[in-house]
Structure 1
Amino acid sequence: MIDHTLLAPTATAQDIDKLCDQAAEFITASVCVQPIWVAHAAKRLAESPVKICTVIGFPSGAQTPETKAFETAQAIANGAEEVDMVINQSAALVADKAGLVHDIRSVVEAAAGHDVIVKVILETASLTEQAKIIACEAAVEAGADFVKTSTGFGPGGATVADVTLLRHTVGDGLGVKASGGIRTRQDAIEMLKAGATRLGASSTYAILS
């Protein structure tokens, strides 16, 4: 249930290898890496069931839908099996649901036909409750597979309250990924109890060992 994550822009090939080897040891759901490391991670984990996840429009979400679609197609070509895209946060704050649906659907359509999971990052710490609800509704309408709390690079990470809200809003139809600030086993358990079905964590080794 864990996406073993390393998204620091200063990460080196040696760091990514260590991440992949830990993920293979624990058989995590995926490794989540920056787009520049997708092909490298895919090669490193070629004999493992661990999937390759990357981020799109990261971390601000302020790229155009067309840019996000291109980034998605390129990531899939390099071996990505899951993509976590950041929404246009300003559209959420002004309740522009149509704009959000277009933004998210650009990635969903780029991933269509490739058996690739699309997760939608809201950056909940930057949004009002209304904006979170609208973004979740847009993710459902656009055909995404998950909603996700945070990038880990914003003003705050996952909270039990936000995970609960996301789960309540999307119902049982979508997964909910809690990400940002999950550092202990107890943190992880609390998020799962609140309704998360996937966790994004860089502290995977500490949580599981």
Structure 2
Amino acid sequence: MEYTLNDLARMIDHTNLHAYASNEDMVKLCNEAKKYDFRMVAINQVQSKICSEQLKGTDIDTGAAISFPLGQTTVESKLFDIKDALKNGANEIDYVVNLTEVKNGNFDYVKDEMQQIVDLCHSKSVLIKVIFENTYLTNDEIKKLAEIAKKVKPDFIKTSTGFGPSGAKIEDVKLMKSVVGDEVSVKAAGGIRNSDDFLAMIAAGADRIGTSSGVKIINALKDRMEKDNVDVIKIDRDYKKNLK
């Protein structure tokens, strides 16, 4: 497939989830998102209002992280926080699954949690992403979560928070995509800091990339395209051959 520079920029969730992020940092994040036409700014829930105000009148979304980064809150807490984020202007949600219940093998709980959150977000026409945090999971657990997502149908399943011991891995993206196929999209996040890794994640099956290095990545891709005198970058998304 062929992608323009803007196509690639629109796959980026421009991220600042640092505990020490200030209002000034949020304004900077939003200004960069507007300059580069990123798809979304990924921020902690408490910053939903300032970012939604900064992005008013644009088609750049405000993405609030819920139960971040551990996922260890009740369904009721997650639903409350989502409602609060939406009230303050968020129009995308990334939430972390309850990893304790995954490890307990309590997938009925995990499915019910996902269903309630997806139903709430979709009732408000809000895009919803489910963060697995694969660094703590076995391949069987990743597959089981992806199978649940294929039934519940969030908009995205996501590899990582970026706060665990490791982030996005090519093999995890391929595994997740092999299960959900084209019914659910995959977001890769965590440790994606250069243009080569960015393109590799897309080739593996990711349709959205969460990164705090979006400006660096897009500038590097722009330089590459100018050097090669091309208007598009070709990415062989060969994962499609292996979809179930």
Inter-partner Cα distance in structure 2 for 1:47 and 1:144: 26
Segments of structure 1 that go 5 or more residues without pairing to the other structure are none
Shift in Å, 1:186: 0.5
The residue that corresponds to 1:45 in the other structure is 55
Mapped to 2, the partners of 1:139 and 1:38 lie a distance apart of 26
Deviations 1:32-66 (A, max 9, x none): 11111101001001022111111111110110011
For 2:202, which of 184, 192, 204 is the aligned residue? 192
1:65 aligned onto 2:111: no
Q: Please list, as runs of the form range in 1=range in 2, the aligned pairs for 1:1-209 lying within 5 A after superposition.
A: 1-209=11-219
Deviation of 1:169 after TM superposition, in Å, equals 1.1
Structure 2: runs of 5 or more not aligned: 1-10, 220-244
Superposed displacement of residue 138, structure 1: 1.8
Alpha-carbon distance in 2 for matches of 1:27, 1:115: 22
Moved more, 22-31 or 93-102: 93-102
d(CA) in 2 for partners of 1:64, 1:4 = 28
Please, what TM-score do these two structures have when normalized by structure 1? 0.97
User: What SS does the corresponding residue of 2:14 show, helix, strand or coil?
Assistant: strand
State the 1:141 CA deviation: 2.5
Contact 1:32 1:53 (8 Å CA) reproduced: yes
What do residues 63-96 of structure 1 show as CA deviations (whole Å, max 9, x unaligned)?
A: 0011101111111111111100100112223332
Q: Which amino acid aligns with 1:83?
A: I
Point out the more displaced range, 47-56 or 16-25: 47-56
SS in 2 for 1:120: strand
Counterparts of 2:133 and 2:122 in 1: how far apart (Å)?
24
Could you say which structure has the larger radius of gyration? 2
Structure 1 distance, partners of 2:87, 2:201, is 33
Shift of 1:111: 1.4
Give the secondary structure class of the aligned counterpart of 1:199: strand
C-alpha contact (below 8 Å) 2:15/2:212 kept by paired residues: yes
Q: Residue 150 of structure 2 contacts residue 180 of structure 2 at CA under 8 Å; is this kept in 1? A: yes
Q: Helix, strand or coil: the match of 2:15?
A: strand
Residues 129-171 of structure 1 deviation map (CA, whole Å, 9 limit, x = unaligned): 1111111122222331110000011111001000000100111
Question: C-alpha displacement at 1:206, in angstroms?
Answer: 0.6
- Amino acid corresponding to residue 207 of structure 1 in structure 2: I
Asked if the contact 1:123/1:149 (under 8 Å) is kept, the reply is yes
In 2, distance between residues paired with 1:7 and 1:137? 28
Measure, in 1, the Cα distance between the counterparts of 2:217 and 2:163. 20
| CA-based RMSD | 1.0
Output the amino acid matched with 1:129. Answer: N
Cα deviations by residue, 1:182-203 (Å, 9 ceiling, x for unpaired):
0001010000000000000001
CA distance in 2, matches of 1:125, 1:29: 26
Using the size of structure 2 for normalisation, the TM-score is 0.83
